[in-house]
Structure 1
Amino acid sequence: MSGRIRVDRAVCDHHGQCTYTAATLFWFDGDGELAHVPELTGEQFALARDAAAACPVRAIRIED
């Protein structure tokens, strides 16, 4: 199973809740912009969904 993380950059306010929830999938780059692993493997889905749920502005979408 594989999938993708989609982040709506127009909505993201850089709260960083996703980085606390899933630091292996989300992080802030050297410019302070949110970066993420674009392709998910099976075992990463649950963690990615937890991070999306933690986003206070719902800027993260997980696609199968």
Structure 2
Amino acid sequence: MAQQITVDRQLCDNHGQCAIAAPAVFRMNDDGILEYEDSVDDALLDEVEEAVDVCPVQAIFFRD
């Protein structure tokens, strides 16, 4: 089952730490803006949880 995630764009400063922690889910585009998959396979949950933890502004959330 896939988990849903979201990034609060009001909080996100595009530091890119999430892209380092979970590159299969988060990436920086050519303009330095974060892009991400909002539906994450369970196999990637550990990486996404690491991305949540390393986000300096705590902008990444799991949705119910």
TM-score, normalized by the shorter chain, greater than 0.5: yes
Query: What's the TM-score bracket when you normalise by the shorter of the two chains?
Result: 0.7 to 0.9
Structure 1, residues 11-38: CA drift from partner, whole Å, max 9, x if none?
0011111011111110011332100011
Match of 2:7 in 1: 7
How many aligned residue pairs are there? 64
The residue aligned with 1:26 is: 26
- Supply the RMSD in Å over aligned alpha carbons: 1.2
User: 3-state SS of the aligned residue for 1:15?
Assistant: coil
Divergent runs of 4+, >2 A: none
Q: Counterpart of 2:46? A: 46
With the length of structure 2 as denominator, give the TM-score of the two structures.
Answer: 0.87
Q: Partner of 1:58: helix, strand, or coil?
A: coil
Q: Scaled by the length of structure 1, what TM-score is found? A: 0.87
Q: Which runs of 5+ in 1 are unaligned?
A: none
Residue 42 (structure 1) shift? 1.2
Residues in 2 aligned to 1:63 and 1:31: alpha-carbon distance in whole angstroms:
27
Gaps of 5+ in 2: none
Superposed displacement of residue 56, structure 1:
0.7
Structure 2 residue identity aligned to 1:10: Q
